[in-house]
Structure 1
Amino acid sequence: MAETDWIAVDWGSSQLRAWAMGADGSVLQWVSAERGMLTLAPDQFEPALLELIERWLPAAGVVTVIACGMVGARQGWREAPYCQVPCAPLSARQFVMIPSHSEQLKVYLLPGLSQELPADVMRGEETQIAGVLERQPEFNGIVCLPGTHCKWVRVNQGKVTGFQTFMTGELFALLAEHSVLKHGMNDPQADTLSSSLPEFLSAMRSAFEQPGQLSAALFSLRAQGLLQGMTADEARARLSGLLIGAELAASQMFRADEPVIIVGDSGVAELYAEALQSLGITPQRLNADAVTLAGLKAARSLLGI
């Protein structure tokens, strides 16, 4: 393997991912582990990282590590204070260089973004937004980042001007696994994208048009299972549809006349794409890993190394 020039790291709540990068920007190797922020005390971050990347380090010299995500949270390795919007997604002046016990590492943590009104924060997504702009520098519009906490981000002239976070993914998990609805959707093989897509779109449209009826519509899922034999596939599809439809109705971030980019290629990202298309909006899809890595490369360029 060619010598590692620097190391890119995406360190979330549950997972640590790292890429050994060549001087030409190529990925030499990559690795992941379930060593997320929630599993580590502050003094365990450096040993966890070294365990994963030690074989990439040269016999002599210092390697720069650039890390984004929850590693920079208050409960992480070291807090990287938020940058307040409106601002560029990344600013080298706000990067936090942290002391390392290893003489082979120089570690930088990337800060998240914050918003005063309405109060909101993000960590990790700012790097993906930077990656979007690295690939499409002239993009002005909305970036949608689906996940446990879906974020809708307005980008204008290279800056993040505002964003909204929705706990849609977390609500889905709570309702599907810990509410009365679990009795009708406890099939782990349930697939919300194939034969159940019409159910998803029907529920999404219903919640989008009448978001105030969401609570009643949720209980109706249980009743339909008892009285009409709704399958687990259909129930999970309709639950996704109701929650995403209510989210779209509440979001103040997007308009039908402006471009939308969805970052993600998972089933959840596909659901958001299908929902938007049914509302007359054709979003562009970008691979999440690709834009994360593009954002980390942009951070390295800002450091001038």
Structure 2
Amino acid sequence: MNLAWIAVDWGTSNLRAWAMGPDGHVLDHAESPDGMGKLARDAFEPALLRLISPWLGAGVTTVIACGMVGSRQGWFEAPYRTVPCTPLDHAALVTAPTTDPRIHVCLAPGLRQMKPADVMRGEETQIAGALALSPGFDGVMCLPGTHSKWVHLSAGEVVSFQTYMTGELFALLSEHSVLRHGMAGEGWDEAAFDEALSDALSRPEKIAARLFALRAEGLVSGLSPAAARARLSGLLIGTELAGARPYWLGQPVALIGAEKLSATYARALKAQGIDARLLPATTCTLAGLASLARQPEATR
């Protein structure tokens, strides 16, 4: 294997790695469930080596990692950089302590906003990758997920951002609240989603009442699980869009995330007259890490 370096995306739940060639192409890919949330500090290096050892040769290979691996609870803390700033900065890379002489591990810091207080880790790498794929982009990027991010970009810098716990709220409400009784299954009702989205956008202050109505309608009107799940999603995304209106209104918007979820957000934005561009999350992550790999190795 003509290995040049290794790209790593290390989140709370999973570890993903790519063997990268000198021409920037992916030579191999591996992943494991050894996320940050499951590891003690001294377990990070062994977890990484279990995944990438087959790729390593006799020399030293640079590993560039983003995500929660650089958090305070991770392998080694990579301090947040404060916006406004570029999404990534090679000079801010932090070298993680290692015992295996075959690897040199560099961690990319996340970003912080002082007021209103907000943070991100991992998304900054996707944003940098999206900018590398769309040079000169000025506007807004939305990164839907467990914690959705709305990010204002100008002249290659993150100006401000705002996080919404929409994905986590959906999981909590559909799996652990009283609403779970009417949410079983994987069905989906587009019309129910659209109706709930419009309702939440026009009356976001009614969200708590609209949520309980899902349970009540299941009991008295036989609301189907497919319609209930879609309406819950529409209510939560609609409330998010109502809060994030200053970000997306009248702006070019790019969505970075999983295909299905990004398509749902694109549908919601389309209803507001916004044609969002969809960018795959993994493609953006690799492009962001590659932008760091093209620069000299970290020195600290």
Give the TM-score normalised by the residue count of structure 2: 0.97
Alignment of 1:100-111 (within 5 A): 100-111=98-109
Question: Residue 25 of structure 1 corresponds to which residue in structure 2?
Answer: 24
Structure 1 runs of 4+ aligned residues shifted over 4 Å read none
Question: Residue 177 of structure 2 corresponds to which residue in structure 1?
Answer: 179
Paired residue secondary structure (2:294): helix
Q: Percent identity?
A: 53
Which stretch shifts more, 258-267 or 66-75?
A: 258-267
Paired residue secondary structure (1:254): helix
Q: How many residues are paired up?
A: 298
Structure 2 letter corresponding to 1:139: F
Residue 34 in structure 1 maps to residue 30 in structure 2: no
Q: Note the alpha carbon deviations across 1:210-229, whole angstroms, 9 max, x for none.
A: 00000000000011111111
Name the Cα RMSD after superposition.
1.1
Question: Residue 200 of structure 1 corresponds to which residue in structure 2?
Answer: 193
Question: Residue 237 of structure 2 corresponds to which residue in structure 1?
Answer: 244
Instruction: Please give the alpha-carbon distance, in whole angstroms, between the structure 2 residues aligned to 1:90 and 1:284.
Output: 22
Q: 2:83 aligns with which of 79, 82, 85?
A: 85
Instruction: Please give the alpha-carbon distance, in whole angstroms, between the structure 2 residues aligned to 1:174 and 1:233.
Output: 17
Give the CA deviation at 1:264. Answer: 2.0
Q: Contact 1:142 / 1:253 at 8 angstroms: preserved in 2? A: no
Structure 1 letter corresponding to 2:167: G
Give the CA deviation at 1:267. Answer: 2.1
Instruction: Please give the alpha-carbon distance, in whole angstroms, between the structure 1 residues aligned to 2:11 and 2:155.
Output: 28
Paired residue secondary structure (1:199): helix
Alignment of 1:78-157 (within 5 A): 78-157=76-155
Instruction: Please give the alpha-carbon distance, in whole angstroms, between the structure 1 residues aligned to 2:135 and 2:126.
Output: 13
Q: 1:67 aligns with which of 65, 68, 87?
A: 65
Q: Contact 1:153 / 1:253 at 8 angstroms: preserved in 2? A: no
Alignment of 1:154-165 (within 5 A): 154-165=152-163
Residue 227 in structure 1 maps to residue 225 in structure 2: no
Give the CA deviation at 1:111. Answer: 0.1
Q: Note the alpha carbon deviations across 1:174-228, whole angstroms, 9 max, x for none.
A: 11111110110122xx233xxx111101101100100000000000001111111
Give the CA deviation at 1:4. Answer: 1.1
Instruction: Please give the alpha-carbon distance, in whole angstroms, between the structure 2 residues aligned to 1:146 and 1:184.
Output: 25
Instruction: Please give the alpha-carbon distance, in whole angstroms, between the structure 2 residues aligned to 1:259 and 1:282.
Output: 8
Paired residue secondary structure (1:77): coil
Give the CA deviation at 1:137. Answer: 1.4
Structure 2 letter corresponding to 1:274: R
Change beyond 3 A, Cα 1:39–1:253 = farther
Instruction: Please give the alpha-carbon distance, in whole angstroms, between the structure 1 residues aligned to 2:295 and 2:109.
Output: 14
Residue 191 in structure 1 maps to residue 192 in structure 2: no
Structure 2 letter corresponding to 1:172: F
Q: Contact 2:68 / 2:74 at 8 angstroms: preserved in 1? A: yes
Give the CA deviation at 1:256. Answer: 3.0
Structure 2 letter corresponding to 1:290: T
Q: Which runs of 5+ in 2 are unaligned?
A: none
Q: 2:204 aligns with which of 211, 215, 225?
A: 211
Question: Residue 6 of structure 2 corresponds to which residue in structure 1?
Answer: 7
Instruction: Please give the alpha-carbon distance, in whole angstroms, between the structure 1 residues aligned to 2:139 and 2:75.
Output: 33
Change beyond 3 A, Cα 1:76–1:204 = same
Instruction: Please give the alpha-carbon distance, in whole angstroms, between the structure 1 residues aligned to 2:69 and 2:13.
Output: 11
Give the CA deviation at 1:252. Answer: 4.8
Paired residue secondary structure (2:95): strand
Structure 2 letter corresponding to 1:111: P
Structure 2 letter corresponding to 1:109: L
Give the CA deviation at 1:304. Answer: 6.0
Instruction: Please give the alpha-carbon distance, in whole angstroms, between the structure 1 residues aligned to 2:295 and 2:162.
Output: 27
